[in-house]
Amino acid sequence: MNSHERGPGLPPPRGPLSAGVGARLRGTGPLPRPGEAGEADPYGDDAQLALYVCYELHYRGFAGVGPESEWDPDLLRVRAALERSFLSALRADTPGHDSLDDALGALLVEPVEGSGVTHFLGSEGELWQLREYAAQRSLYHLKEADPHAWVLPRLWGRAKAGMAAVEFDEFGGGRADRVHAHLFAALMTDLGLDCAYGRYVDAACAEMLAAVNLMSLFGLHRELRGALVGHFADVEITSSPGSRRLAEAMRRTGAGPAAEFFYDEHVEADAVHEQVVRHDVIGGLLAQEPELAADVTFGIDTTEYLEDRLARRLLADWRAGRSSLRAPLMPEMPHTS
């Protein structure tokens, strides 16, 4: 297998923008103009898939796409237009907190019972809904912590040390079998899902793509390093209680030991990470660059905004008895103990 054959295949397009980006990468057609990218619905399927494909060139890439495409200047101009549109929409639409303390405090307030996805899955979710949730979340969890690693060269001192300590845990503490992306792949296997990287991109909804793209948007721009720290803080602070509910859902539905273990692991690990992120990563960053407090707040607020959009989409579909995915999953295969 040569380097161009590694990675997932390019996903099917969802409109002219993603079709044009795919055609460019296949060498079969022209790119859309940056102006076209800027005029599309910034939260829509087409723009979000086009942006996702552009970002994946900085991760594992796609089968049949050469590594030189990562720095294709014409493609970068289209990506920049998509990013400007997405970021402008987020700045206009995201309800903002008055201060970082307010934003952090709000993360400690549990949603009204039953209003959140993990509450729903923990108390009444069925196995088919857990499988869909895992398929959607695989877009991030199979590269868990990778987008946040982009910020490490942009930090120094206490903030860098704290961030590196948390990332070290996310990457298994030096053990390949404890890398969180590997643990999630085992969870998917328990649920009878294909754990190949990128397998469910075509099935994922636009709201999921946007939530994943936000991390790459923040991570790939040094000027948004504060926002990425805010995003990271949001993930770590809210993870432990949500993971506890998901672990219970996995047990209740008999999903399997690896499915239970993934979330059990996050209950303990992220409770510790929360303190490191608060005191060392955020505290260290703002001790050096206090002017970034508003960016950290923005990172928290936009994360919550996009997660709320995703939650509304998933819960609306599931409560109506329909799939949240664009393509149905294959029937689950029984796991083995």
Q: What is the pLDDT of residue 142?
A: 98
Q: Which fold has domain 100-319?
A: Heme Oxygenase; Chain A (1.20.910)
Q: What is the pLDDT of residue 69?
A: 97
Closest CA to 248 of 234, 262, 236, 269: 262
Q: Average pLDDT for residues 256-260, to the nearest whole number?
A: 96
Q: What is the pLDDT of residue 240?
A: 87
Q: What is the pLDDT of residue 72?
A: 97
Q: What is the pLDDT of residue 234?
A: 95
pLDDT digit string, tens, across residues 23-59: 999 999 999 999 999 899 999 999 999 999 999 999 9
Q: What is the pLDDT of residue 1?
A: 44
Sign of the alpha-carbon torsion through 71, 75, 81, 84: negative
3-state SS assignment for residue 13: coil
Q: What is the pLDDT of residue 66?
A: 95
Q: What is the pLDDT of residue 272?
A: 77
Tell me the C-alpha distance between 113 and 120, whole Å.
8
Residue 86: CB partners within 8 Å, gap ≥ 6? 42, 43, 47, 51, 210, 213, 217
Q: What is the pLDDT of residue 337?
A: 42
Q: pTM score, two decimals?
A: 0.94
pLDDT at position 108 over 60: yes
Q: What is the share, in percent, of the chain residues with pLDDT greater than 70?
A: 94
What are the sequence ranges of the domains in the chain? 3-93, 100-319
Q: Average pLDDT for residues 144-159, to the nearest whole number?
A: 97
